[in-house]
Amino acid sequence: MISGIKQICGKELARVFKDGKMIFSVFFLPVVIMIVVMSLVSNMSKKAEQDVEEHVSVIFVEHAPADFEGFLKQAEVSCEIRPVEDKEILKEQIRNGEADLWIEFPENFTESVKNYQKGDEIVQVKTYYNPSEEYSRAAFNMISSGALEMYRQALLAERVEDMQQLTVFTVNSDNPDMIIQDDQKAGGKMLGTMLPYFVTILLFAGAMGIGTDMVAGEKERGTMASLLVSPIKRSSIVLGKVSALMIISGVSSVVYVAAMVIFMPQMLGGASGEDLGVSLALSPQQIGMLAVLLVAIAFLYSAIIVLVSVFAKTVKEASSYVMPMYMLVLVLGIMTMFTTNTPKSWFYMIPIYNTSITLQGILTQEVTFAQYGMTLGVTLALGAVLVGVIAKAFESEKTMAI
């Protein structure tokens, strides 16, 4: 029995690992594509950000107080100030992105502010911008909520002698120790939201192509029958194929994760892991728990893919059957990325979903042994049931189409 499983598994592994093209397409190509795409995206968004930063805002100011331009220069706000000529044209210019911001001071702004008496109406400064234009939005943030606030403070200081009296209290103006957190846990949080998502998806994606070829492909090529007339049990064939698939998907996910960690800075456009608060310091216990769980997940996914492939006549058919399963894994992975609630106990009984929340729980050190055990048990049990179903399907002449 064991020797049969070993032989089948060995042949399936040889098919992938002895073929340079296969190694390239299964292990390297996805990594290369991922890194190239991610770095491209992050570089481009960084470039766009830089471009916005470097852009000199075009600001139209109406009834500008005499000292306003000087104030902006002093505050080192890079902008080009122009007087307003025609309001309608200006509106159109803002709409199509030629002008970034329009500041409308009331007439006699300086006098109104200076001659303020108790009970007078408070003067209003209006700003207009276009939030769907990057430059305009940046100018609005920089000037409307930044520079104008500073300008207000400056004018206020002229009016009131003792500014301290107005402040009443400050919040955290001198408190460098304001953040109290467990650094390891925080690192886990960041990693915990991303890693389960990527790992489960990569495990599935890595096994998908090879798995459908392993069973449906073998049926399609007519090579399955040669295995069926050899003196090994059908269950040995199934277990051999499932374990080969586990190894392949395991290796590919390790390659992907390693590549992700190594190339993380490039992919995030130069920011290193430490800047992001990601610490990869895992305790031996965490690593052990992760490893065992990942093996169980690889087993379940492999079983799912083989099961689907058994009922397909061709690789093409199998691929289309696998797709909905892949979608399911994707959606369940995304769900853990955006859930902040503590998972309820019965969540750990939902196959596939439980593995994602447990992976997250291990990284944030929030999972209990009972929850971990439940997840592991459910995953392995479901995998075993599926292998049983596959073995039954192998016995059937109909599904084997011979």
Tell me the per-residue interface mask from 2 to 31 with another protein, x by CB under 8 A, - otherwise.
-xx--x---x--xx---x------------
Contacts of 249 (CB under 8 A, 6+ apart): 203, 204, 206, 207, 210, 211, 298, 301, 302
**CA–CA distance, 326 with 335 (Å, rounded to integer):** 14
Using alpha carbons, list the distances in angstroms from residue 189 to 55, 79, 85, 219, 368: 36, 41, 54, 45, 16
- Total binding residues toward another protein, as defined by CB under 8 A: 21
Nearer to another protein, 221 or 316 (CB): 221
Q: How far is the CB of 230 from another protein (least distance, A)?
A: 4
Give the dihedral of Cα atoms 251, 257, 263, 264; nearest 10 deg: 180
User: Does position 107 bind another protein by CB under 8 A?
Assistant: no
User: Does position 402 bind another protein by CB under 8 A?
Assistant: yes
Nearer to another protein, 95 or 221 (CB): 221
- Piece in contact with another protein (CB under 8 A), picked from 28-36, 226-234, 298-306, 380-388: 226-234
Nearer to another protein, 304 or 310 (CB): 310
Q: Token digits for 171?
A: 């919040």
Angle at 382 between CA 335 and CA 397, to 5 degrees: 120
Nearer to another protein, 229 or 281 (CB): 229
Which residues, numbered 236-295, are part of the site for another protein (CB under 8 A)?
none
Q: How far is the CB of 14 from another protein (least distance, A)?
A: 7
User: Does position 209 bind another protein by CB under 8 A?
Assistant: no
Nearer to another protein, 283 or 396 (CB): 396
Q: How far is the CB of 203 from another protein (least distance, A)?
A: 24
**CA–CA distance, 62 with 105 (Å, rounded to integer):** 6
The answer to whether residues 164 and 324 touch, using CB atoms and an 8 Å cutoff, is no
User: Does position 66 bind another protein by CB under 8 A?
Assistant: no
267 phi and psi angles, rounded to 5 deg: -70, -30
User: Does position 231 bind another protein by CB under 8 A?
Assistant: yes
Which of 105, 143, 218, 355 forms a contact with another protein (CB under 8 A)? 218
Helix (H) or strand (E) holding 81: strand 79-83
Q: Which residues pair with 59 in a beta bridge?
A: 81, 101
User: Does position 223 bind another protein by CB under 8 A?
Assistant: yes
Which of 40, 48, 225, 287 forms a contact with another protein (CB under 8 A)? 225
User: Does position 401 bind another protein by CB under 8 A?
Assistant: no
Q: How far is the CB of 256 from another protein (least distance, A)?
A: 24
Q: How far is the CB of 398 from another protein (least distance, A)?
A: 9
Nearer to another protein, 230 or 345 (CB): 230
Using alpha carbons, list the distances in angstroms from residue 153 to 108, 110, 146, 269: 19, 14, 11, 38
Nearer to another protein, 96 or 226 (CB): 226
User: Does position 126 bind another protein by CB under 8 A?
Assistant: no
CA atoms within 13 A on the CB side of 277: 12
Query: Which candidate, 61, 151, 154, places its Cα nearest to that of 100?
Result: 61
DSSP type of residue 214: I
User: Does position 221 bind another protein by CB under 8 A?
Assistant: yes
Which of 106, 222, 277, 288 forms a contact with another protein (CB under 8 A)? 222
Nearer to another protein, 196 or 209 (CB): 209
User: Does position 34 bind another protein by CB under 8 A?
Assistant: no
Report residue 177 CA to chain centroid gap.
29
Which of 50, 74, 145, 230 forms a contact with another protein (CB under 8 A)? 230
Query: Which candidate, 205, 219, 209, places its Cα nearest to that of 312?
Result: 219
Q: How far is the CB of 313 from another protein (least distance, A)?
A: 12
Is 1 strand, coil or helix?
coil
Nearer to another protein, 44 or 402 (CB): 402
What is the residue-wise DSSP string for 31-54?
Answer: HHHHHHHHHHHHHHHHHHHHHHHH
User: Does position 233 bind another protein by CB under 8 A?
Assistant: yes
Q: Which residues bind another protein (CB under 8 A)?
A: 3-4, 7, 11, 14-15, 19, 218, 221-223, 225-226, 228-233, 397, 402
